[in-house]
Structure 1
């Protein structure tokens, strides 16, 4: 004796919905197994900067100069580990601080100065040379670290 199955349209919709739900659950589980939730250390990114100088002579023969960090602005991501490598090209020495990160140091001509930090808070942090603070002292020599 053969059986005849009568399937109503609403039963097809319910079966299709159940299959979709099952598949989306499997995809979600697989996605979760690919992306680790464990705290894995991220690689440290190196950012290179140099100390540069602009120098010119005015119409009356006066020499003017201004020092700068180059690049003047760097952008890092929140939570990123950073190695900031600064090479002294112009000027004898540049004691500096990075406001808000409790970092200070000194860049000397012909030398590399390296500082490490993790960008934990969004914002803009000023990299300030303490020798060249204003126009009277061939500045202001200020760079910016932007944390997004």
Structure 2
């Protein structure tokens, strides 16, 4: 009988420790989705990749859609930001950011870094010139929200 009581005490101690540990873990603040660059403490770096979804319809037709991932990013107004896009799917994605003079190309297996600085709040679209309409799958658009 004494052995069963000792086991229950240890079980209680272990469960209490797990409870306290989980309360500590889940009460920590949320982490931001961007980080300060190690090269410059004033430069925010946001990472993005090119992605692809493919499938086959019941009649055997192959369908595909390319996308920027994440599809929406939020950056602070008036701050210097580096958008780092790594090409994972698709040979290349020529792009432009609507409402700006920013243009470039993301190539498979390479990183393209785009310096950004917006002084006006709003939503700017990052658009791939290759995948702009349903003739090339769905449009490949990401949203840059400046707040």
TM-score, length-normalised on structure 2? 0.71
For residues 73 and 96 of structure 2, the distance between their equivalents in structure 1, rounded to whole angstroms, comes to 16
Structure 2 unpaired stretches of 5+: 1-39
Structure showing greater Rg: 1
Per-residue CA distance 1:36-63 (angstroms, 9 max, x = gap): xxxxx97110000000000001000111
Partner of 1:71: 70
Partner of 1:44: 43
For residues 88 and 71 of structure 1, the distance between their equivalents in structure 2, rounded to whole angstroms, comes to 13
1:102 Cα deviation after fit: 1.4
Partner of 1:54: 53
- The question of 1:113 aligning with 2:119 is answered no
Q: Secondary structure at the match of 1:110?
A: coil
Partner of 1:104: 103
Runs of 4+ in 1 over 6 A off after TM superposition: none
Q: Secondary structure at the match of 1:136?
A: coil
1:142 Cα deviation after fit: 0.3
TM-score, length-normalised on structure 1? 0.70
The answer (yes or no) to whether the contact 1:42–1:81 under 8 Å persists in 2 is no
The answer (yes or no) to whether the contact 1:85–1:112 under 8 Å persists in 2 is yes
Partner of 1:37: none
Aligned residues: 108
RMSD between superposed Cα atoms in Å: 1.4
